[in-house]
Amino acid sequence: MPTLNWIGKDKVVNHAAAVPFHVLEHKYNFGGASENKIIHGDNLLALKSLLPEYEGRVKCIYIDPPYNTGNEDWIYNDNVNSPQIKKWLGQIVGKEGEDLSRHDKWLCMMYPRLKLLKKLLADDGAIFISIDDNEQANLKLICDEIFGANNFVAQLVWEKKRKGAFLSKTVTNIKEYIVVYCKSQEAFGGLVGEINRSPETYPCVKTTNPRGVRILQRGIPSKFKEKNYRIAANTRSNAGNTELIFLDEAVIENGILQTSPRVDSNWIYQQDLLDEYATRGELFITSGLNLRRVVLEPRIKMLKDLLLRVGNDDKAEGSFTYDENLNNGGWGTNEDANEELHKIFGKQYVFEFSKPSRLIGKLIQSVTDKNSIVLDSFAGSGTTAHAVLNLNAKDGGNRKFILVEMEDYAESITAERVRRVIQGYGQTAGTGGNFDFYEVGESLMIQGNLNQNIDIETIHAYIWYTETHTQHKKLSGNNNIYLGNFNGTAIYFYYERNRKTILDNEFLRSIKLKADSYLIYADACTLTEDFLTRNSIIFKKIPRDIKKLGSDDL
């Protein structure tokens, strides 16, 4: 498999593991306590902070990262003079960061973030990444490396404009790409493009199939113009380019087959399936003496990789409309995105490069169920949350969204848009009609010691996650030491802010719950190694043995 190398790669490949764990500081909620989150802060730190609660739980990730055109004004700017990128690269890459091209810098920014996003993605989930020609090829190569080339799903092409730039001197560009990867091909169900629930009829024979003989069950209805008739043995019935040979006489009375003739043809179905369909009343003889099946169950068709502005129904809907056929109504355009923001905020030019909620909503719809978690770590104007709310309002879903935005407009544009969309829907937004706003807060560890400002529940959640890679569920009661039992191991975090804790016989006598083994954190231990081994106890010293979310985790 081809791999991509660039200046600074060796410094950032494992950088996600070195990022310190920060907590999320809750600022307020809108509409009541919620599982929806809008987070203001560096998305690298925010993604790391989400791991204890969300590792492997996010069904759909959509990101619209900077396209690295050379003309953008973003906080990870490729501009050599950008103080933010110079500082970050200086810390991570060192002096050689001065020699990085804009593509090197973009790759250094994206790589650790994609590593964390993969960790958050559910086994049956998918990530959608919007991109254009500037970094499409590079993005594909690093995603092959991070997610695995075998987990590449598609490169969707989106018709983003009604018409291209008038002054273009090379080519009129009206498209962008959406690169799609899954976490695991074995678990992934594909991108659903259409669910057809209306009855349809399908042929039972196909000319390219091998010929064979099947027996038609008596009782199959006939739509031939005569209600009573006989088909003589060895009759050849042709319908288009298909042929059925009735090897036995077939008797029709009152529009119902009275015999069970043998028929030679290019069958699609084996005998057992034909019998099943006949028993269920799904087969009928056509007016042309052929055989067709009535299909009643929903049929699923996969998503097409060309996302056109105008849909199969010749419509180009500007705003979101729910349809189980994603190819109806088109996929929206940049113009639609601008118009959406204009309607929400009452003014033009609110945000550059926003995507239409129609596009994001359909992508989410193609991969999620009604209770999925959706994440966007380059949230911008908040289109992804808008799309989630649209879907929930239309199909009664309870999808949750997590947005991360590091710019100052996280409150004034991102959160404000979501707030106004919720208010516009009123009660129809359902249980998803609220959100909590957070800031990326302090680091859990400061100079190797536990940060005294971090609440004990957050510390417990972190310790539990590093030991089990599962989400911690707070136990009832006021027990601030026992964290729970994981696969037979009882986990204790014996910690007090103002007193040194010691794992000794006195502490062991306080343990009432029996387990196969014990993992106990404390400041010190007076028990012998032999005693610990004989009693299946593992001692870990605070803070020395508190794990970082290191390379083994990422």
Question: What pLDDT is stored for residue 81 in this prediction?
Answer: 40
In DSSP notation, 276-303 reads HHHHTT-EEE-TTS-EEEEE-S-EEEEP
Question: What pLDDT is stored for residue 341 in this prediction?
Answer: 92
Give the C-alpha distances (Å, rounded to integers) separating 50 from 43, 76, 80, 197, 377. 10, 21, 31, 38, 11
Question: What pLDDT is stored for residue 430 in this prediction?
Answer: 45
- Of the candidates 58, 304, 302, 298, the one whose C-alpha atom is nearest the C-alpha of residue 189 is 302
Measured distance CA(524)–CA(180) in Å, rounded: 49
Question: What pLDDT is stored for residue 123 in this prediction?
Answer: 97
Measured distance CA(310)–CA(451) in Å, rounded: 55
Q: Tell me what the pLDDT averaged over the chain comes to.
A: 90
- Read off the pLDDT band of 79 (50, 70, 90): very low
Strand 400-405 relative to strand 22-30, pairing? unpaired
Q: Which helix (H) or strand (E) holds 61?
A: strand 58-63
- Read off the pLDDT band of 87 (50, 70, 90): low
- Of the candidates 293, 132, 300, the one whose C-alpha atom is nearest the C-alpha of residue 221 is 293
Q: Are 113 and 139 in contact (CB under 8 A)?
A: no
If you average pLDDT over residues 123-146, what whole number do you get? 97
- Determine if residue 21 is left, alpha or beta; phi over 0 gives left, psi from -120 to 50 gives alpha, anything else beta: beta
The per-residue pLDDT for range 235-276, each reduced to its tens digit, is 998 877 889 999 999 999 999 999 999 999 999 999 999 999
What's the token pair of residue 312? 């199969």
If you average pLDDT over residues 160-168, what whole number do you get? 73
Amino acid letter at 527?
A: L
Task: Find where tokens 């759909």 sit.
Answer: 60
Before 543, cis peptide (omega within 30)? yes
pTM exceeds cut of 0.85: yes
If you average pLDDT over residues 94-117, what whole number do you get? 83
Number of neighbouring beta carbons within 10 Å of residue 58: 23
Of residues 350 and 107, more confidence is placed in 107
If you average pLDDT over residues 104-109, what whole number do you get? 90
Q: Domain 9-195+302-443: give its CATH code.
A: 3.40.50.150
Question: What pLDDT is stored for residue 128 in this prediction?
Answer: 98
Question: What pLDDT is stored for residue 551 in this prediction?
Answer: 45
Question: What pLDDT is stored for residue 99 in this prediction?
Answer: 67
- Read off the pLDDT band of 54 (50, 70, 90): very high
Please report the beta strands in 379-453, taking only residues with DSSP state E, as ranges in sequence order. 400-405, 435-443, 445-446, 449-450
DSSP-H helix ranges across 121-216: 136-147
CA angle centred on 302, ends 301 and 308, rounded to 5°: 105
The b/e string for 411-433 (b: 16+ C-beta within 10 A; e otherwise) is: bebbbbbbbbbbeebeeebeebb
Whether residue 400 is predicted with pLDDT greater than 60 in this model: the reply is: yes
Question: What pLDDT is stored for residue 95 in this prediction?
Answer: 55
Q: Give percent helix, percent strand, percent coil of the chain, each to the nearest 5.
A: 30, 25, 45
Whether residue 325 is predicted with pLDDT greater than 70 in this model: the reply is: yes
The per-residue pLDDT for range 5-44, each reduced to its tens digit, is 998 898 889 888 888 999 999 999 998 888 999 999 999 9
The per-residue pLDDT for range 472-519, each reduced to its tens digit, is 988 876 668 999 999 999 999 999 988 899 999 999 999 988 999 999
Question: What pLDDT is stored for residue 78 in this prediction?
Answer: 37
Whether residue 141 is predicted with pLDDT greater than 80 in this model: the reply is: yes
Question: Which residue spans of the chain are classified as CATH 3.40.50.150?
Answer: 9-195+302-443
If you average pLDDT over residues 460-466, what whole number do you get? 93
Question: What pLDDT is stored for residue 92 in this prediction?
Answer: 64
What's the token pair of residue 46? 């925010």
The per-residue pLDDT for range 355-391, each reduced to its tens digit, is 999 999 999 999 999 999 999 999 999 999 999 999 9
Of residues 80 and 407, more confidence is placed in 407
